[in-house]
Structure 1
C-alpha cells in the first residue's frame, strides 16, 4: 500500500484478459496489475455498475499505466459476448467500451461537464466541452454504440443519436485512451487548437475527460492527463491508404489526390505554426535530433543484421542533414501516413489521430518538431502502397519490382511534394538532404517493425534504405 492508501492487486482473470488485448504493450506476457485509483459513472440502466480502474503494471520493465473501464451486471448483456471478461457468481463483468451503458454514461459525462472529485486515495475525472457547439447543436439521445475495429493503442466508440424530433444527429466517435501519461494528450490539444483556428482539415472536437490520479512512481504526488476524447465521426468515408491501394492495384493515376493531400498537410502545418509555440532549430537542437537518429540506427542493426553494411552510408546521410537548412520547429502531426487521412465528399482530405507515435514518451510528442518529419512519413506511406501491390500481384513470388508500380509511387510522391510546396508558398529546395534523413530514419524504424512482426515484408523498407543511401558518397 502506498502513502496514498490505495494499491489493490487485480484478480488473475483481469490480468489474463488484459494480456490478450491489442492495446497492451507487454505482448506475450501476463501483466501483474494493481489499481492505483478508481472513478465511477452513474448508470441509467438498473442492475449495472460502471467504474474505471487506473491500473499499473508492476511486472513491466518500463512503468506503464493503463485505463480499464468496466461494467458489472447482474444479468448478461444481450449481444455482449465479445466484451465479456468473466461470468461468475451471478455477476457479469464486461469491458466498458463494449457495453452501451458505459458508452452513454461517458458521453453524457462529457456533454454535461460533470465532475468526479478524487478523495485522498482515489482517481478523479471531469468532462470538458472543447467547442461551443456540439453535434446536432442541441440535445440528443444516443440510440446505438459500437466499438471501432482495428484500433491498437486505444479504443474508439462510435455513438449514433437522434434529436428531440427523432431526426438523426451527427454521430460522435469517442476515443478512450488505454495507455495513460501525465500531461496533455496531443490528440486533444493539437486538434482542438486547429479547430479553434477554423481549420477544415480536422474533425470537429466535442469534448474530453481529464483525469487526476496518484503518481505510482512518486508516492504523495498527483498527475493530471487526458482519459478520453470525443469528436465528430465521419461515416462512410475511406482513408487514403485504402484509396491509394485500390488505385495502385488498378493501375490508376492518383496524382491529383496526392497533390491535394500535400496541400492539406501544408495547411495544417501553417495553422499549427500560427496558433501553437514554435522555436528555432539551434545547433544544439540539431545535434540532439541527429544523435537520436544515430542511436535508433545502431539499435536497429541489432534487430536487423542486413542493415549493418550500411553504417558508413547512413552516417553520410545524417552528416548531410546536419549541414542542411533546418526550418523553424513547430507542432506537427507526429505520426502522419496515408491511414491518418480521410477523404470526405465535398470537404476533401481530413487528417486524424494527432496523438503522435503512442510508444514515444509524451514529452517527445508535445513539443515543437520538424515539419519535414510528417512529409517523410507520407512519402514512406506512398512507397509502402507500391510495395504492397507488388507483393500481392498474382504469381509474384518472390516479389519482383514492376516498373508501372514504381512509377505510380514516384508520381504520387512528387505530386504530394508539389502540393505541399504550392500551399506552403515555399519550395523544399535546399532541404532535400534533411528530408532524406527523416525518410531514412522512418525506413529504419520500419525495418525493425517488419523483422519483429512480418519478416516477409522486410524487403520494402530495406529497398528504401538502399535507395536513400545510394546517392551519397562515403
Structure 2
C-alpha cells in the first residue's frame, strides 16, 4: 500500500462524486493498473481508499503528459516537476487517451496489468456481438456527461469502418467501488439478454480485483465500468412530465404506458433472475426499517411526530398483509430514471439502487411494490415542484390522474391485483415520503412541504381505508 501524491486529496474533495463532503480525505493507494504508456501520455488507474470516516474505495483514473493537453484546462488535476521537466496530470475521463483506452478494453475484451507486477487487475467483457467480417466501430470523439453525482459517464461518438456514424455508446465509470456485482450491470444485462427493449442495449463492462482484508481470500472483485447504447437527443420522464404539467396537458396515457413498461421490467427480471417466497423474517426486517426511518426523520422534522400512532397502525397492517414474492427490482425508481424514446416508448436506466443502501442490500431480492411507490412519489413531486414555482396554483388533480393511470397500466400488463396489496403499497409510499422529508430538511428545506403534505395525505387515506 502506498501514500498518494499530495495533490490528490484536495482535488478529490472538490469532486461531485466524492462522498465525504466537508472533510479532507485521508487517502491510501491499495492498487492500480496501467492502460497504456507511450512518449506522449501515460494512462493509469489508481484505486484509492479514503480512511477519514466510513472507509470507501474510489477509482481514480489519471493521465500524465509531458506537454499540456489541448483544451484540457478544466481537466487539469495538478502540475509537477521532476528530473525530466514539468508533468501535467489530468482527470482521466476528460482525456481522450483514457476514454479510448477504457472503451477499447471493453470492446476487445482485454486485460490490464497491476502496477505492482502481481498480474492482471482489470478485465474487459464485451456483450455486444460483432457481425462476421465487420470491424467493430471506432471512437470518433468522447466527452464527459455533466450533472452526475456519484459516477462519471463518458459519451462516445462512434464510426463504422467506412467512416459512417455508428451507434453512440455511453460508458459509466463507477467511482465508488464495492466487492461484488453492481446491480446496474447485472439487471440491465439480464433484461437485455431476455430480449427486453425497456433498457438500452448492453455493450460490455470492466471488472477489477484489488486487495481487501475483509474479502474472501483477501481479494475483492467488482465492476469498474459499464458500457451501453447511448440514446441522444431524448428527455427523461421528469422533464417530459414537468413540461406537461406546465401547460395543463394530461399525462394519463403516458403514465399508463409507463405502468405497462414497469410491469414488463418486473416480469422479465423475475423470469431471468432468482425469486423467493417472502418469509416472516423478511417482512419483520422491512417493517422494522420503516419504523426506524420514521423515528430518525421525526427527530429532525418534529412535525412528523403527530403521525406516530397512526403510522404504527399502518405498519402493523402492512406486516399482516399478503406480500408478493421477492425478486430483483430497480430499487431507486423515479421519473428521472426513465427516458422517453421516439418509436420505442419508455426506456429505463440506472439500476444501481438507492445510493444510501449497502451494495449487498441493493443486490438482494426485494419487494416490487418498492418500485411502484417510488414512481408514485415522483408524480407527486412533479405537482409539488409546480406548486412551488406557481404560488397559489395546484397540480394535485394532474398528479392524481397520472398516479391512477400508472397503477392501471401496471395492473393491466402484470395481471396482478394490487388491491390485494393496497395496505402494503401505502406503507412503502409513506416510507418513501418519510425518507424524502429527511432528505429535504437536510438539503432543500424549501421543498420540505412536498413530502410533509404527502405523509399527511397518505396516512389519512390509509386510515380511512382501514376504518
Post-superposition offset of 1:324 = 1.3
Q: Write out per-residue CA displacement over residues 340-363 of structure 1, whole angstroms, 9 at most, x where no aligned residue.
A: 100111111000101111221111
Pairwise mapping of residues 344-383 of structure 1 onto structure 2 (< 5 A)?
Answer: 344-383=341-380
Alpha-carbon contact 1:36-1:122 (below 8 Å) kept? no
Aligned residue for 1:272, secondary structure, equals helix
Post-superposition offset of 1:272 = 0.4
List structure 1 segments (4+ residues) > 4 angstroms apart after TM superposition. 117-123, 216-220
1:40 corresponds to which of 14, 34, 44: 34
Q: Is 1:54 aligned to residue 54 of structure 2?
A: no
Partner Cα distance (1:300, 1:427) in 2: 32
Q: Is 1:106 aligned to residue 102 of structure 2?
A: yes
Partner Cα distance (1:31, 1:53) in 2: 15
1:444 corresponds to which of 434, 437, 440: 434
| CA shift in 2, pair 1:450/1:122, >3 Å | farther
Partner Cα distance (1:227, 1:157) in 2: 13
| CA shift in 2, pair 1:219/1:15, >3 Å | farther
Partner Cα distance (1:401, 1:431) in 2: 33
Q: Is 1:95 aligned to residue 87 of structure 2?
A: no
Q: Write out per-residue CA displacement over residues 37-62 of structure 1, whole angstroms, 9 at most, x where no aligned residue.
A: 0111025x7411111111101111x1
Paired residue for 1:304? 301
Paired residue for 1:454? 444
Alpha-carbon contact 2:34-2:113 (below 8 Å) kept? no
Pairwise mapping of residues 5-404 of structure 1 onto structure 2 (< 5 A)?
Answer: 7-42=1-36, 46-60=39-53, 62-89=54-81, 90-118=86-114, 124-133=121-130, 138-215=135-212, 217=214, 221-393=218-390, 396=391, 400=392, 402=394
Q: Is 1:413 aligned to residue 413 of structure 2?
A: no
1:470 corresponds to which of 457, 460, 467: 460
Partner Cα distance (1:189, 1:275) in 2: 11
Q: Write out per-residue CA displacement over residues 245-281 of structure 1, whole angstroms, 9 at most, x where no aligned residue.
A: 0101111111111111010000010000101000001
Q: Write out per-residue CA displacement over residues 284-340 of structure 1, whole angstroms, 9 at most, x where no aligned residue.
A: 111111011111111222222222222112211111111111101111011100001
Partner Cα distance (2:281, 2:52) in 1: 37
| TM-score normalised by structure 2 residue count | 0.95
Q: Write out per-residue CA displacement over residues 194-217 of structure 1, whole angstroms, 9 at most, x where no aligned residue.
A: 100000100000010000000055
Alpha-carbon contact 2:130-2:136 (below 8 Å) kept? no
Q: Is 1:426 aligned to residue 416 of structure 2?
A: yes
Aligned residue for 1:35, secondary structure, equals strand
Post-superposition offset of 1:10 = 1.6
Partner Cα distance (1:83, 1:29) in 2: 22
Partner Cα distance (2:42, 2:411) in 1: 54
Partner Cα distance (1:13, 1:122) in 2: 28
| CA shift in 2, pair 1:216/1:71, >3 Å | farther
| TM-score normalised by structure 1 residue count | 0.93
Partner Cα distance (1:286, 1:165) in 2: 57
Partner Cα distance (2:63, 2:261) in 1: 41
Aligned residue for 1:12, secondary structure, equals coil
Post-superposition offset of 1:389 = 0.6
Post-superposition offset of 1:22 = 1.1
Aligned residue for 2:154, secondary structure, equals strand
Partner Cα distance (1:137, 1:260) in 2: 37
Partner Cα distance (2:56, 2:134) in 1: 38
Alpha-carbon contact 1:37-1:122 (below 8 Å) kept? no
Partner Cα distance (2:142, 2:383) in 1: 36
Partner Cα distance (1:261, 1:350) in 2: 9
Deviates more, 1:72-81 or 1:174-183: 72-81
Paired residue for 1:3? none
Aligned residue for 2:165, secondary structure, equals coil
Post-superposition offset of 1:116 = 2.1
Q: CA RMSD in A?
A: 1.8
Post-superposition offset of 1:220 = 6.4
Partner Cα distance (1:313, 1:121) in 2: 59
Alpha-carbon contact 2:198-2:347 (below 8 Å) kept? yes
